[in-house]
Chains A and B, each alone.
Chain A
Amino acid sequence: MVELQKDRITRGDFLSFGFIGAVMGAILTIPPAAFVLSPVIKTNVLGQSDVSQDWQMVGPIDDVPDGEPIVIEVDFPIDQIYGNNEVQEQFPDTQKSNEEFAVRSAIWLSWQDGQRPEELQGINGSLTQEQRQLAEENLNILSNICAHLGCPVRWVIVEGEGEFLCPCHGGIYDINGGYIGGPPPRGMFRYPVREVREDGNLYIRHEFDDEDGIPGLTTTRPHVV
């Protein structure tokens, strides 16, 4: 074993170590952290979204039956990594992937309390302003993502009563998406930004009725779709 040689650290040595450490530390921590955390910075801090904020067509409101909901799949285009729009537009004629990426959401549609309003019975052709507004007010547009832990909810009939059931932990919601029982902290997520157009089609945007969980502590979003 070689004898250890413990030289005294001079003031200059100490400052040099400090300088080397500070420069290397700054270069090796700040850019990597920002690199890895960029989605968090973009979404949580700057409030941007990866999902297109354009109107997406859901379908004709005439298809929504009385007394039970129907499920409709809607693709919301998203903009992540290789699905990024600007990246996709580069060299469009080569073999490079140009596939559009979307998050496919199952949307439950039902009438308020399962009752289609009188004025909207047997609609065909174009809708009047009043009818459109009435439809917008009376439609439940619900995400299939359970408000508890995000499992896909289903419509089940229990003892003649229909209800939304989450298969994971047994959360139960009524036809309006309101909370009935089980562990979920709130009702199902709704799409509040909606528009019924003159041709009778429903359009929505990718927004949810977020709410504070424990004020200041937690907020809720579907997070996954």
Chain B
Amino acid sequence: MVQNVAGGKAKPVEEEVITEDNVFDKPDETMGFFPGQVLKDGWVALFLLIACVVMSYAIPAPLSEPANTAAVDYVPRPEWFFFFYEQMLMFFPGYTLIAFGAVVVPTVFIVLMFAVPWLDREPVYSPLKRPFAVIVGVLILIVVVLNMLLAVSRIINFPEG
């Protein structure tokens, strides 16, 4: 187990012989959560807050016309993080496939996501040593990104927006 180092400063360790038993006893180099990590977290938080403030005035939060169920010339578009899902809906026509693609596949995906720790039980951590998990992860990323790009191009190319 990692030993708590009182006072936040690591004592200089005498030259230690690393064996298979103690290699994971402590990591390479640590720092105290405070101030080291807290400071880094603080910088990121500050950056995000400033980004939010700048964006609030640069691109104000949108508010389009009041909702109208009787619209005929309005083009509904999802938020960007649903683009890939929305694009996938294009590929599933008809009753069976819509139910399959829009509901069943995402549900199965969510269940698989919960099961990830049990699907990949190999006690190795490095991405290089578990190619299968990494390939699956990268494939999912590629599918998501490609679908997002397809959705964006479809939205851009839609006549009269």
- The interface of chain A, by Cβ under 8 A from chain B, is 71, 73, 103-106, 144, 148-149, 151-155, 167-170, 182-186, 213-214, 217-218, 220, 224-225
- What are 7 inter-chain pairs, A to B, with CB distance below 8 A? A105-B70, A144-B71, A149-B89, A168-B86, A169-B90, A183-B98, A225-B69
- B residues 85-129 near A (Cβ < 8 Å) are 86, 89-90, 92-96, 98-99
In the complex, whether B75 has a CB less than 8 A from a CB of chain A is yes
Is A213 a contact of B76 with CB atoms below 8 Å?
A: no
Given A168-B76, A183-B92, A106 contacting B99 (CB threshold 8 A) = no
Is A103 a contact of B76 with CB atoms below 8 Å?
A: no
A68 to B102, CA, bound (A): 33
Is B99 a contact of A104 with CB atoms below 8 Å?
A: no
Task: Please give me the residue from chain B that is nearest to A155 by CB atom.
Answer: B72
> What total count of A-B pairs have CB within 8 Å?
63
| Contacts A149-B89, A224-B69 supplied; 6 other A-B pairs, CB < 8 Å | A106-B70, A154-B73, A183-B93, A185-B94, A213-B95, A220-B95
Task: Please give me the residue from chain A that is nearest to B103 by CB atom.
Answer: A218
Shortest distance between the CB of B152 and any CB in chain A (Å): 15
Main secondary structure of the interface of A (DSSP, over half): loop
Interface mask (B1-43 → A, CB under 8 Å = 1, otherwise 0) = 0000000000000000000000000000000000000000000
Task: Please give me the residue from chain A that is nearest to B158 by CB atom.
Answer: A167
Is B99 a contact of A213 with CB atoms below 8 Å?
A: yes
A184 to B98, CA, bound (A): 9
Is B98 a contact of A152 with CB atoms below 8 Å?
A: no
- B residues 56-72 near A (Cβ < 8 Å) are 68-72
Is B158 a contact of A73 with CB atoms below 8 Å?
A: no
Is A144 a contact of B98 with CB atoms below 8 Å?
A: no
In the complex, whether B74 has a CB less than 8 A from a CB of chain A is yes
Is A182 a contact of B89 with CB atoms below 8 Å?
A: no
Is B89 a contact of A167 with CB atoms below 8 Å?
A: no
Given A104-B70, A217-B99, A151 contacting B89 (CB threshold 8 A) = no
Is A151 a contact of B72 with CB atoms below 8 Å?
A: no
Shortest distance between the CB of B85 and any CB in chain A (Å): 12
- Counting chain A CB atoms within 10 Å of each CB, which of B74, B86, B93, B96 scores highest? B93
Is A185 a contact of B72 with CB atoms below 8 Å?
A: no
Residues of chain A within 8 A (CB-CB) of B90 are: 169-170, 183
Is B98 a contact of A185 with CB atoms below 8 Å?
A: yes
A106 to B158, CA, bound (A): 22
Is B70 a contact of A73 with CB atoms below 8 Å?
A: yes
Given A106-B72, A185-B94, A225-B69, A169 contacting B89 (CB threshold 8 A) = yes
Residues of chain A within 8 A (CB-CB) of B76 are: 151-152, 167-168
Is B94 a contact of A104 with CB atoms below 8 Å?
A: no
A103 to B70, CA, bound (A): 8
Residues of chain A within 8 A (CB-CB) of B68 are: 104
Is B72 a contact of A214 with CB atoms below 8 Å?
A: no
Is A182 a contact of B69 with CB atoms below 8 Å?
A: no
A198 to B88, CA, bound (A): 49
Task: Please give me the residue from chain A that is nearest to B154 by CB atom.
Answer: A170
Is B93 a contact of A184 with CB atoms below 8 Å?
A: yes
A170 to B76, CA, bound (A): 12
Q: Which 10 A-B pairs have the closest CB atoms?
A: A106-B70, A183-B93, A213-B95, A104-B70, A167-B75, A185-B95, A73-B70, A152-B71, A185-B94, A151-B76
Given A151-B76, A185-B93, A106 contacting B71 (CB threshold 8 A) = yes
